[in-house]
């Protein structure tokens, strides 16, 4: 940028701020691109970059050749050979709201000197690693990272191991030289499985799928890369010789697809910018159901001749824009750690945070899981931490920004005694969870046991919410599950915020709950590891409660899906005098059920395994699962040769592909509901 005499001069403070932003962004770049270990969440990076861009726009004098606004990333690692990109690999400008996107469209039309609508290609912005693949005479010659946009790293050996990277192109008209660009990423399910394995082996886990993809590609030993669940999706071309590609971006991608590349199945064309906004909203709703992480939508002028007319600015094309989604990771401060006691006594550390807006909501608590997790993160009270909230998953602390640790940061001490009842906290070797040994002496465990007993899928006691249970226990009116049926109108009506009418309603609900089923009753007892499906299997196997209560561990293992661990918990539960007394008290109070039809009787889907994937629109996932189980089917989380059918909603990805590969029948939601109705389920 040349300095013009008319340029406004920045103040000393503005100069200092620009330098500060340089330093922050430089450091963040290095951590992100070179170390694969980012400290700054993307949204924070974007904001700082935006601040610097704005400052530089106002005072062009501040622009220096080494400004982070003037380049894309940091230099490559020395351990891989360097590769020069003939056509630079650029970055994208970001929009954060509809107005900014509309401004982009206005700039495009101004430059093209047209008032006609411009058509855009719409693609999800995959959160992975940008890659360049060079094919000569249709054969993969070289794969490189973006690096700083001009010079990247040669990672051909690693990229070769990625299944979706074609080693030789298919079909006709393959150009003599073709450089394809795309993203290598790790799908969510592969990421979860990889981290689970790493955690079990006591190894370091990855912060997010993007990080896992970067770490996997940067392996010097490509045999390790080969074991990682990586995917390629292509979104553009660089160098092309010896062929002319279609004149529309979307058609060009379809051509790449015919030559053997995966392209994103959500790709679409929008007639104008309003169509883009609509696409952004629709995909935003599907975001959590997609099998991979995306951080926004990329809009590109679809006509490649117009793209050429528009050209580039320093770091990005004028014809494309990334419209970002609300960030799923943000930074905040860890104010304190509290320890919660669950139904089975599990002591869970919960991070109390300075409220932060992340993943579309304000978050002030996040789970820290267990003692091992605290150690793994190396986190202290007072630290600045990165919080991730993706979809409906509980917010998590994913990493610590150590450079921001204050001097007075304090170690987190795991309690040796229960914070609620003061009983000793015990750990079982080999188990990450520490538990309060107080059992039902512990009011926290009692409260959770009662809440569980009253919940919808258990005894379904309408109007007995969590707050009310806590109030009843705290005021000494309720000591056990069976005590619920001894509550009187006077006791209830005397509670704060409870009138005669609601008290009577609750008593009516309690009365109604007495007429139940054996599976619901078993589930309501809250036996460790006995969920709804196991409760159903136990009930069906034994038919009545007395036989189940007398069963030993060996016989329990004959029940479908019950192994030694569950058998042990069940037998142990019924041996407790306290449990026997509670059950007796509940029956005395009038809790009853019809005996179950036992064993042999075949159900319509007995012996079958089903998988649910993608978003369901009419049914909730838990309803769908419940119906399948009622018909005798097992519901599994992943597709394998043992799967009988797959229900696939919109956004279904790798599981659906796998089902197709294995020739497993798939149903959409409509067909699924029809199947359920045909088997007597009323929906």
Binding positions for ligand IVH, rule: CB under 6 A: 90-92, 123, 125-126, 130, 146, 183, 235-236, 298, 317, 320, 322
> Which phi and psi angles does 497 have, rounded to 5°?
60, 30
- 102, 273 contact by CB (below 8 A): yes
Tell the smallest beta-carbon distance from residue 208 to ligand IVH (Å).
15
What's the N-to-C CA distance of the chain in angstroms? 67
For residue 379, the minimal CB distance to ligand IVH (Å) is: 30
Rounded Cα–Cα distance for residues 108 and 94 (Å): 15
Catalytic residue (one of 125, 300, 324, 634): 125
Minimal distance, residue 212 CB to ligand IVH, in Å: 16
Beta carbon nearer to ligand IVH, 322 or 510: 322
Which residue do the tokens 């952004």 mark? 280
Q: Work out the number of other CB atoms within 10 angstroms of the CB of residue 499.
A: 11
Q: Largest Cα–Cα distance in the chain?
A: 94
Sign (positive/negative) of CA torsion 172, 174, 175, 181?
positive
For residues 183 and 383, which CB has a smaller minimum distance to ligand IVH in the complex? 183
- Closer residue to ligand IVH (CB): 130 or 454: 130
- Kindly list the distances between the CA atom of residue 143 and the CA atoms of 32, 66, 116, 224, 346, in Å, as whole numbers in the listed order: 20, 27, 40, 17, 48
Residue 392 DSSP class: T
* Rounded (5°) CA angle 528-530-536: 160
CB of 334 to ligand IVH, least distance (A): 30
Kindly state the smallest distance separating residue 378's Cβ from ligand IVH, in Å: 30
Q: How many CB atoms lie within 10 A of CB 247?
A: 13
Residue whose structure tokens are 């007597």: 680
- Structure tokens that stand for 621 in this block: 């996932």
Return the beta strands (E) in 137-194 as ranges. Answer: 139-145, 151-153, 177-185
Question: Please, what is the minimum distance in Å from the beta carbon of residue 318 to ligand IVH?
Answer: 10
| Residues 531/523, Cβ–Cβ less than 8 Å | yes
Provide the 8-state DSSP code for 590: T
**CA neighbor of 399 nearest in space, from 414, 411, 387, 382:** 387
Is residue 608 a contact partner of residue 634, using CB atoms and an 8 Å limit? yes
For residue 4, CA distances in Å to 53, 59, 60 come to 18, 11, 9
Query: Closest separation between CB of residue 389 and ligand IVH, Å?
Result: 21
- In degrees, rounded to 5, the angle at the alpha carbon of residue 240 between the alpha carbons of residues 312 and 186 is 80
Q: In whole angstroms, how close is the CB of 274 to ligand IVH at the nearest point?
A: 21
- Helix, strand, coil percentages (3-state) for the chain, rounded to 5, are 40, 20, 40
Q: Is the Cβ of residue 125 or residue 446 nearer to ligand IVH in the bound state?
A: 125
Minimum distance of ligand IVH from residue 266's CB (angstroms): 10
Tokens coding 386: 């990165």
642 is an active site residue: no
Give the Cβ contact number of residue 153 at 10 Å.
Answer: 22
Under 8 Å between Cβ of 82 and 151: yes
Rama region for 630: left / alpha / beta (φ>0; ψ in -120 to 50; rest): alpha
DSSP conformation class of 167: S
Q: What whole-number distance in Å separates Cα of residue 464 and Cα of residue 177?
A: 70
Q: How many CB atoms lie within 10 A of CB 209?
A: 25
Backbone angles phi, psi at 538, to 5 degrees: -65, -45
Q: CA torsion 162→163→165→169, rounded to 10°?
A: 150
Using H for helix, E for strand and C for coil, what is the string for 662-680? CCCCEECHHHHHHHHHHCC
Minimum CB distance to ligand IVH, residue 70 (Å): 15
Helix, strand, or coil (residue 375): helix
Q: Are strands 609-613 and 645-648 parallel, antiparallel or unpaired?
A: parallel
d(CA 143, CA 232): 12
- 142 secondary structure, DSSP code: E
* Angle CA 401–404–409, to nearest 5: 100
CB atoms within 10 A of CB 86: 12
Catalytic residue numbers read 125
């Amino acid at each position: 940028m040349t300095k013009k005499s008319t340029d406004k001069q920045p103040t000393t403070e503005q100069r200092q701020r620009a330098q500060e932003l340089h330093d922050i962004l430089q450091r963040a770049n290095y951590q992100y691109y070179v170390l694969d270990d980012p400290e700054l969440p993307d949204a924070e990076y974007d904001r700082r970059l935006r601040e610097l861009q704005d400052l530089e726009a106002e005072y062009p004098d501040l622009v220096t050749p080494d400004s982070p606004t003037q380049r894309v990333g940091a230099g490559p690692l020395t351990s891989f050979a360097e590769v020069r990109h003939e056509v630079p690999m650029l970055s994208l400008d970001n929009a954060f709201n509809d107005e900014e996107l509309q401004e982009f469209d206005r700039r495009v039309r101004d430059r093209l000197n047209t008032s006609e609508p411009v058509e855009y290609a719409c693609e999800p912005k995959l959160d992975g690693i940008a890659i360049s693949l060079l094919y000569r005479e249709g054969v993969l010659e070289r794969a490189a990272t973006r690096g700083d946009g001009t010079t990247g790293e040669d990672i051909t050996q690693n990229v070769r191991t990625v299944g979706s990277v074609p080693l030789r192109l298919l079909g006709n008209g393959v150009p003599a030289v073709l450089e394809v660009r795309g993203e290598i990423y790790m799908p969510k399910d592969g990421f979860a499985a990889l981290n689970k394995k790493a955690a079990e082996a006591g190894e370091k886990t990855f912060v997010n799928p993007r990080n896992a993809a970067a770490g996997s590609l940067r392996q010097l030993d490509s045999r390790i890369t080969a074991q990682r669940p990586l995917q390629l999706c292509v979104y553009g071309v660089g160098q092309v010789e010896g062929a002319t590609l279609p004149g529309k971006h979307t058609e060009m991608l379809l051509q790449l697809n015919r030559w053997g590349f995966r392209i994103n199945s959500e790709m679409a064309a929008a007639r104008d910018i309003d169509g883009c906004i609509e696409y952004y909203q629709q995909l935003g709703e599907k975001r959590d159901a997609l099998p991979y992480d995306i951080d926004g939508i990329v809009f590109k002028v679809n006509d490649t001749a117009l793209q050429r007319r528009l050209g580039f600015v320093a770091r990005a094309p004028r014809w494309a824009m990334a419209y970002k989604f609300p960030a799923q990771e943000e930074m905040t401060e860890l104010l304190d750690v509290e320890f919660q006691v669950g139904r089975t006594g599990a002591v869970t550390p919960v991070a109390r945070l300075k409220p932060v807006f992340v993943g579309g909501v304000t978050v002030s608590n996040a789970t820290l899981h267990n003692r091992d997790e605290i150690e793994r993160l190396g986190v202290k009270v007072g630290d600045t931490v990165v919080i991730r909230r993706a979809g409906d998953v509980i917010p998590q602390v994913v990493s610590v920004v150590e450079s921001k640790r204050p001097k007075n940061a304090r170690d987190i001490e795991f309690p040796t005694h229960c914070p609620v009842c003061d009983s000793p906290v015990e750990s079982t070797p080999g188990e990450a969870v520490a538990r309060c040994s107080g059992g039902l002496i512990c009011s926290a465990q009692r409260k959770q046991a009662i809440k569980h007993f009253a919940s919808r899928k258990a005894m379904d006691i309408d109007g007995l919410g969590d707050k009310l249970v806590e109030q009843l226990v705290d005021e000494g009116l309720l000591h056990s599950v069976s005590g619920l049926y001894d509550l009187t109108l006077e006791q209830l009506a005397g509670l704060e915020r409870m009138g005669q009418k609601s008290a009577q309603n609750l008593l009516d609900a309690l009365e109604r709950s007495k007429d139940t089923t054996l599976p619901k009753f078993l589930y309501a007892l809250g036996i460790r590891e006995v969920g709804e499906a196991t409760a159903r299997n136990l009930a069906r196997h034994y038919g009545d409660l007395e036989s189940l209560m007398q069963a030993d561990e060996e016989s329990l293992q004959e029940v479908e899906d019950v192994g030694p661990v569950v058998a042990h918990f069940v037998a142990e539960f019924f041996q407790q005098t306290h449990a026997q007394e509670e059950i007796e008290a509940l029956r005395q109070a009038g809790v009853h059920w019809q005996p179950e039809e036992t064993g042999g009787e075949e159900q319509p889907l007995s012996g079958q395994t089903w998988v649910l994937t993608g978003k369901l629109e009419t049914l909730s996932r838990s309803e769908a699962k419940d119906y399948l189980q009622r018909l005798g089917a097992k519901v599994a989380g992943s597709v394998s040769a043992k799967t009988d059918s797959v229900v696939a909603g919109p956004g279904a990805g790798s599981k659906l592909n796998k089902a197709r590969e294995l020739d497993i029948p798939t149903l959409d939601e409509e067909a699924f509901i029809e199947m359920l109705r045909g088997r007597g389920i009323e929906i």
